[in-house]
Structure 1
Amino acid sequence: MDETAHALGASHTLWELVDRRAGLTPDRPVLLQGDRTLTFGELRDGAERVAAGLYGMGVRPGSVVAWQLPTRIGTVLLSFALARLGAVQSPVIPFYRDREVGFALRESRADFFAVPGTWRGHDHTAMAERLGARGVFEAYGALPDGDPAVLPPPPADGTAVRWIYWTSGTTSDPKGVLHTDRSLIAGGSCLAHALHLTADDVGSMAFPFAHIGGPDYAVMLLLYGFPAVLFEHFAMDTALPEYRRHGVTVAGGSTAFYSMFLTEQRKVPGQRLVPTLRLLAGGGAPKPPEIYHAVVREMGVQLTHGYGMTEVPMITMGAPDDTAENLATTEGRPPAGMEIRIVDAAGRPVPAGVDGEVRLRGEAVCQGYADPAQAAGVFDSDGFLVTGDVGHLRESGHLVLTGRMKDIIIRKGENISAKEIEDLLHQHPAVADAAVVGLPDQERGERVCAVIERRPGTGDLTLATMAAFLRGEGLSVHKLPEQLEVVDALPRNAALRKVLKYKLRELYG
């Protein structure tokens, strides 16, 4: 990390970070969307005017403001305006509907709720009224506006809880995750440091800004002073012209996005899909090694993947100058200040190379959950976050994830990693994506079920041919799936397009 970025990373609050970056490079662009460009100076000044407008509406330091808005320049302005006021923000993914939104409003006890009106055919204002939300206001075209002279001093305490993020929906019960300005700055600093970016880069945000990755990415822009292209609704056919138009150098989002890029690249083999693109980067979902090798081989760009979660937005990240083997098979290394402990079933640390549960401690770790009942047992006696993820550390410090505790399938007393089977299935030419789950079975305890999303234009895949392929790849016989389901599309969440395994268990169990 360069000296300027390092100094900015020590900012106490997100508003201090915005103000300091605007003072350094006020005229440099930070957000690009369509024909609109916003500079760092305009971000600071515009956010202050929006903050004054919100103040006039009654929003005060400590007020809880939920917002369900698409990824737009105005959304970023509103979010930083709330950061300027010291309000508590509860971002909600714009694709969520009554059940998830109602839950978020109740759990956060929101005093205000910003919505986009009718967006993509859904009337968010009517939904908010139906749910009995308080302080509903629309913030899509026009934003609140006022004279910054009325504002109180900006917040100075970066360790106060001012963010409630909602777990992404891969489990049936969401959790309100409590974050501070400093935990978000720490997460963004990890991402920025690992990717080796410069002020000459141009990034892109293909995922919802309401996702925990939103501030993660925004912090990276503020630290290094480069812009990003925003997409209100991501679709590859409309995104590619924008990538080319703005000269994007860094793109990505998650494994599903890598696959979308590969699909487009295969339509024009031998041509650079985006001439300026040099790096795909992301996280939030497992990355099969074959995806890494295909991106490097077919697209001619580097791929770095990381490990993060709503509770800890950035834990590890691959570095572009790491070895191909580490980039393909690990989640990268943690930054300074992030402690990773691997423990056995009794909570005792295990040596390098031995699988166990992943536990985390550091400034980027959340403060717990909004619901005290959900917070029970989330931290161990040493203050480490209990993740439920399974993996091991290499001697080099690289982290290898091998699954989730719930993704360990116990068949006749033998532990089977779903991820091991998924990684092998991704090497089959007919497989576009795969998810492996354990289903209840009276004889075996659990049986192994593989759910395949078939690649267009390929032939039928049967249980027998799949089993033969996996045996040929060296998979032990006792790990072979006993059930195969072929689907047009795996169920995914709305943010990073993670596969919803609980839905597969419900459907096929």
Structure 2
Amino acid sequence: MLDAPSLWDLIELRADADPGRELLVDSGGSRLTNGGFRDAALRTAAGLHALGVRPGTVVSWQLPTWTAGYVLMAALCRLGAVQNPIIPIYRDREVGFIVRQIAPELVITPSEFGGFDFAAMIARLTGGTSTRHVAADRTLPEGDPATLPAYRAPGERELRWYFYSSGTTADPKGARHTDTAILAAARGMHTCLALTADDINGMAFPLTHIAGPIWLGASLMAGASNVLLDRFDPGAAVELFGREKVTLGGSGTPFHLAYLKAQREFARTRPGERAFPTFRLCNGGGAPRPATLHAQIRDEVGGLGVIAGWGLTEAPILTMSTVHDPQTALDDSEGRPMPGVELRVVTLDGRTAKPGEEGELRARAPQLMLGYVDAALDGEAFDEEGYFRTGDLGTVDEDGFVRITGRLKDIIIRKGENISAKEIEDLLFTHPHVADVAVIGLPDPERGERVCAVVVGAEGAAPLQFLEMVEFLRREGLMTQKLPEQLELLDLLPRNPTGKVIKRDLVGRFKD
């Protein structure tokens, strides 16, 4: 299983080896075994083939964390399409940018989900183009698998995926990825978490995130199962994860904090008992975490605590802790580099950092993207030796443990989602009551960071009000997860001699 050359090959291998083993359960009641998953994917592949999907066809899709989402993912792998999973919370601004940039032949979404009309959004965004929309409300197009052409495994560097994140600029950045990259990260995670066929992963994050296919790959390698929540609610997680005997509590700091809160509430009425009695560990990454979280999860929720990792959409899971690491490393590090990952730390003055010295983390790795969809971004993304400039500041100690200390890039990580400060600033600059603005991330124990807008009012205008700001940004199309949670008014923003806002001064002033 570990040597499978593609994700579809891995699906076939696991289905042949263990067809009756359950692979997927979702909160809507759908259940699929390894064999059932492969067969459903073949039927959907045939249905999509009848719609014109061929090797290289670009297909964007935006489904919640349903078994149908994984079936669609697998079907597109079988067809050799270039697929573009889109996170469900993305709205007109992000989805519009994506479909304009990659011009997919098909876009597959629910008709409606969570009170939002996806079909209407896609109609707005693709009107006048050749892009077709297919509605998938827990069901997918199907056909006769006998009509499918023979499968051809992709080459090692053959494009198969487009993944977009909000990134560090106003526009999303699209990373071009291969099955090779996905499987390299999956193999590393399989090893670090010591996954076995007894494991059941609780997946509460969007399977359209790059970690979605990575988790599928790691699960198939181990013969493990997955329990999917399409919308995270701690109460629903306690009930579903308990009933399904989940052993792995993913998938990042916001979820771990919610599990901790649920455990404390549970203990009030049932002292001495666990809300998640079968948790072996809590795996995750993607957001800053309080220094005490690992020990709190270990001592209160149960299991080994938080087994954390670090990576980016461009290079997922570059480092990860393991179940064998010392407690001191689990407390505050993101583990060591995955197999095949080369890390270098470069100080701000361009030197190679010494062990424990802070600098920008740069990486060469088998899970590294081919490059950006916008190739013009590649020049600044890679250094002269081919290392990817992550934009994250950190240290690597003498034992190889990586600790993230900050970011060169001006992003705010709220509940694991990257939020561009510039995108919000650009919108607020257009408000008639705003003369100057800086958007900063402030430490927050529940969210990792919260979004704060610091505004200088326009001369003669009434001071900007919080609700007025929020409604303005909503009208401009900013998605809910990016809306500032705090507004501060100043007479003047602190700037350095070159005119750049000194954001660290603002963070220091308003963090409390």
TM range (shorter): 0.7 to 0.9
Question: Equivalent residues in 2 for 1:94-113 (5 A)?
Answer: 94-113=88-107
Verify: 1:37 aligned to 2:31, yes or no: yes
**Structure 1 residues 345-375: Cα deviation after superposition (integer angstroms, max 9, x where no partner):** 3544222111111001111011111012222
Q: Against the structure 1 CA distance between its residues 120 and 435, is the aligned structure 2 distance closer, same or farther, given a 3 Å change threshold?
A: closer
Q: Which of residues 295, 298, 301 is equivalent to 1:296?
A: 298
Contact 2:276 2:301 in 1 (8 A): no
**CA–CA distance in 2 between the matches of 1:356 and 1:293?**
28
For 1:468, the equivalent position in structure 2 comes to: none
Is contact 2:251–2:285 with CA below 8 Å preserved after alignment? Answer: yes
Q: Return the alpha-carbon distance in structure 2 between the equivalents of residues 213 and 382 of structure 1.
A: 27
In structure 2, relative to structure 1, the CA distance for the partners of 1:24 and 1:129 (3 Å cut) is same
Contact preservation (8 Å) 1:205, 1:230: yes
Q: What is residue 510 of structure 2 aligned with on the other side?
A: 483
Is 1:146 the counterpart of 2:143? The answer is: yes
When structure 1 is superposed on structure 2, of 364-373 and 147-156 the one drifting more is 147-156
Question: 2:60 corresponds to which residue?
Answer: 66
**2:133 is the alignment partner of 1:130:** no
Deviation sequence 1:65-94 (CA, Å, 0-9, x none): 000111111111111100000000011111
Map of 1:381 onto structure 2: 384
Which residue matches 2:195? 197
Query: Where does 1:245-284 land on structure 2 (aligned, <5 Å)?
Result: 245-269=243-267, 270-284=272-286
> Would you say the 8 A contact 2:288–2:448 is kept in 1?
no
Alignment of 1:406-485 (within 5 A): 406=409, 422=443, 440-442=493-495, 446=502, 448=504, 481-484=508-511
Secondary structure, aligned partner of 1:342: strand
Matches within 5 A, 1:330-409: 330-345=333-348, 347-406=350-409
Q: Which whole-Å CA distance do the structure 2 matches of 1:272 and 1:450 have between them? A: 41
Give, in whole Å, the separation in 1 of the partners of 2:109 and 2:14: 29
Secondary structure of the 1:27 match is: coil
Q: Counterpart of 1:28?
A: 21
Which residue type is aligned with residue 400 of structure 1?
R
The runs of 5 or more residues in structure 2 that have no matched partner are 412-439, 455-492
Contact kept? 1:331, 1:400, Cα under 8 Å: yes
Query: Which amino acid in 1 is paired with 2:102?
Result: S
In 1, Cα distance between the equivalents of 2:321 and 2:203?
19
SS at match of 2:258: helix
Secondary structure in structure 1 of the residue aligned to 2:371: coil
Q: In 2, are the aligned partners of 1:168 and 1:310 still within 8 Å (CA)? A: no
| TM-score where L is the length of structure 1 | 0.80
**Counterparts of 2:450 and 2:93 in 1: how far apart (Å)?**
26
List per-residue Cα deviations over 1:271-322 (Å, max 9, x = no partner): 2111111211101112221112221222232211110211111111111221
- Cα distance in 1 for partners of 2:148, 2:368 equals 31
Q: Which amino acid aligns with 1:350?
A: A
User: Cα 1:189–1:433, aligned 2, differ >3 Å: closer, same or farther?
Assistant: closer
Distance 2:301 2:511 in 1: 31
Contact 1:407 1:438 in 2 (8 A): no
Distance in 1 of aligned mates of 2:395 and 2:187: 24
Cα drift, residue 341 of structure 1:
0.9
Q: Where in structure 2 are the equivalents of 1:172-321 lying within 5 Å?
A: 172-269=170-267, 270-302=272-304, 303-321=306-324
Deviations 1:170-218 (A, max 9, x none): 6532101110011011111111110112111111110011111101111
Query: Which whole-Å CA distance do the structure 2 matches of 1:348 and 1:63 have between them?
Result: 44
Task: Give runs of aligned pairs for residues 165-176 of structure 1, distance below 5 A.
Answer: 165-168=163-166, 171-176=169-174
Secondary structure class of the residue paired with 1:79: helix
More divergent stretch after superposition (221-230 vs 339-348): 339-348
d(CA) in 2 for partners of 1:163, 1:432: 29
- SS of corresponding position for 1:143: coil
Question: Does the Cα contact within 8 Å between 1:125 and 1:138 map onto a contact in 2?
Answer: yes
Query: Structure 2 vs 1, CA of residues 266 and 450 (structure 1 numbering), >3 Å: closer, same or farther?
Result: farther
Sort the Cα spacing of 1:447 and 1:73 in 2 relative to 1 into closer, same or farther, 3 A: closer
Distance in 1 (CA, whole Å) between partners of 2:511 and 2:200 is 42
2:6 to 7, 13, 24: 13
For 2:452 and 2:25, the matched residues in 1 are separated by 41
**Secondary structure of the corresponding residue to residue 482 of structure 1:** helix
Q: How far apart in 1 are the matches of 2:503 and 2:114?
A: 41
Contact 1:244 1:276 in 2 (8 A): yes
Amino acid in the other structure paired with 1:153:
A
Report deviation, 1:147: 1.4
SS at match of 2:160: strand
Q: What's the C-alpha RMSD, in Å, of the aligned pairs?
A: 2.4
- Gap change, CA 1:447 and 1:118, over 3 Å in 2: closer
User: Which whole-Å CA distance do the structure 1 matches of 2:506 and 2:347 have between them?
Assistant: 28
Q: Residues of 2 paired with 1:114 and 1:432: CA distance? A: 30
Aligned-residue offset at 1:129: 1.0
2:237 alignment partner, SS class? helix
Residue by residue over 1:419-440, the C-alpha shift from the partner in whole angstroms, topping out at 9 and shown as x without a partner, is 9x95xx85xxxx8855599974
Could you tell me how far apart the structure 2 residues matched to 1:224 and 1:11 are?
13
What do residues 130-150 of structure 1 show as CA deviations (whole Å, max 9, x unaligned)? 111611111223211111222
Task: For residues 197-254 of structure 1, give each alpha carbon's deviation from its aligned partner in whole angstroms, at most 9, with x where no partner exists.
Answer: 2111111110011111101111111100011101111111112110011000111211
**Percent identity (aligned):** 40
- SS of corresponding position for 1:192: helix
Contact 1:438 1:449 in 2 (8 A): no
Q: Which runs of 4+ in 1 moved over 6 A?
A: 436-439
Change (3 A) 1:438 1:357: farther
In 1, Cα distance between the equivalents of 2:122 and 2:144?
29
Does 2:113 correspond to 1:57?
no
Q: Say if 1:169 and 1:345 are closer, same or farther in 2 by CA, change over 3 A.
A: closer
Contact 2:360 2:391 in 1 (8 A): yes
